[in-house]
Amino acid sequence: MKKQLHPKSHRIAVLAEGSFGVLESKTATVLVRYLPDNVVAVIDSTKAGRDVNDVIEIGEGIPIVRTLGEAMQFQPTMLAIGIAPPGGELPPAWRAILHEVIGAGLHVMSGLHHFLSDDAELAELASANDVILWDARKPPENLPVATCKAADVDATVILTVGSDCRVGKMLSGIEVTHAARARGHNAEFCPTGQNGIMVWGWGIAIDAVVSDFTAGAAEQIVLEGAKNHDLLIVEGQGSLVHPGYSGVTLSLLHGSLPDAMIFCHQPSRATVARYTVPLPSLPQMIAQYEMLTVPIKPAKVLGLALNCFDLSEAAAREAIVAAEAETGLPATDVVRFGAEKLVDAIQKVHREL
C-alpha cells in the first residue's frame, strides 16, 4: 500500500481510445471527476476536438485529442489507462501505443488485470526509459488470512455495499468522505478497487487477491486507514446477489467488519447487469447484508445512496422518497443532492461508538 506515483502529483493524459464516455471508460470518467486539476487531456480519436465536458458533463476545459502526439503539447508526466474491459486484458492494439508512451518518458498508471509491470517487454522498455509502470490492481505480497483485527480499531468504519456492480459504491464513498471532512471529521476513504486506488493514491484491489486472502486484504486496508484517521469510509465491491463477484463482496464485509453500511443502488436497475438475475427488493437485499454481519460483528445499513443519473430530477426525488418509505432509512443521490443526509446518519453511529 505504498503511495507509488501518487496521481495528484502528476499531469495526466487519459487513454480512452474509441470508448470515452461509455461504460467501458468508467476509469477515465472517474479520473476526470476526482482529478480535474491533474487530467490535462483525454485521448480518443473518435471524439477528438471536443471538450470533455461536452461528453460526460464534467471536466470543463479538458481537451479530447486524437493521439498521444497531440496530448504531448499539454506536457503530461503520466498516462492513465482509462478503460476497464471485462477480464482486464490488455487489448493487443494498445501495446504499440504503450511503446510510444513509454518512449516519450511518461509513467503509466493502469488498472488492468494484465499487469504491465509483469509484462517482460514493457517492463524492459520502462526500465530503459526510466519510467514507472504502476499497476493499481496488483496486490501486495504476503497478505494474511483475516483474523477479525478490523473489529479492534478505534476508528468508526463505514462500508459502502450495494445491489450490483457500478451502482456507485466508490463514488458514494468518496463523496461521503469529502462531506465528512467538510464537517471537520478526520475521515479517510479506503479504496478497494483500481479506480478508487488510482484517484486516491493507495488501497488494495481486493478482487485481484487470491480468495483465501481477500478478507485479509480488506482487513489490512482498515488497519492502514485507522492509523491516522478516526472515520473510515471503505469502498464496497460487487453485490451479494452478483453470481460472479458475491464472494469478493462477502470477503470485504467480513474482512473490514464495519460498524455500519451505506447501501448503494440504481433505482432504474431491475436485474444484475449482464445477467438475468432479478434484483430482490431493497429490504431483502439489506437484510442479506445485515444477517451476514450478525455472527461476527453486527452492523446495520444506516442509509441509501441512490444513483439516479438516468432519471429526471423529479423522478430522482420520487425514487428517493419511495426508497425511504420502503426501507425506513435516509436516502440521497450524492452527486445530485449531496451526501449530507448520509453524513448525519454516520455522525449518529460515530457518536454512539
3-class DSSP assignment, residue 119: coil
Least distance from its own copies to the Cβ atom of residue 315, Å: 25
Residue 125 or 250: the one with the smaller Cβ distance to its own copies is 250
Least distance from its own copies to the Cβ atom of residue 248, Å: 5
For residue 182, give the DSSP letter: H
Write the single-letter amino acid at 88: G
Cell digits of residue 17: 481510445
Residue 60 or 212: the one with the smaller Cβ distance to its own copies is 212
Is residue 29 within 8 Å of residue 57, measured between CB atoms? no
Residue 163 or 307: the one with the smaller Cβ distance to its own copies is 163
**Roughly how many angstroms between the first and final C-alpha of the chain, as a whole number?**
28
User: In the complex, which residues of this chain contact its own copies (CB under 8 A)?
Assistant: 86-87, 113, 144-148, 206-212, 214-216, 240-255, 257, 275-280, 288, 291-292, 294-296
Residue 103 or 243: the one with the smaller Cβ distance to its own copies is 243
Least distance from its own copies to the Cβ atom of residue 48, Å: 33
Residue 177 or 194: the one with the smaller Cβ distance to its own copies is 194
Least distance from its own copies to the Cβ atom of residue 218, Å: 9
Of 335, 340, 341, nearest in space to 323 by CA: 341
Is residue 303 within 8 Å of residue 329, measured between CB atoms? yes
User: Buried b vs exposed e over 151-184: b needs ≥16 C-beta within 10 Å?
Assistant: eebebbbbbbbbbbbebbbbbbbbbbbbbbbeee
Residue 86 or 184: the one with the smaller Cβ distance to its own copies is 86
Least distance from its own copies to the Cβ atom of residue 205, Å: 9
Strand 300-306, strand 331-332: pairing: parallel
Strand 187-190, strand 78-81: pairing: unpaired
Least distance from its own copies to the Cβ atom of residue 251, Å: 3
| Distance from chain centroid for Cα 152 | 25
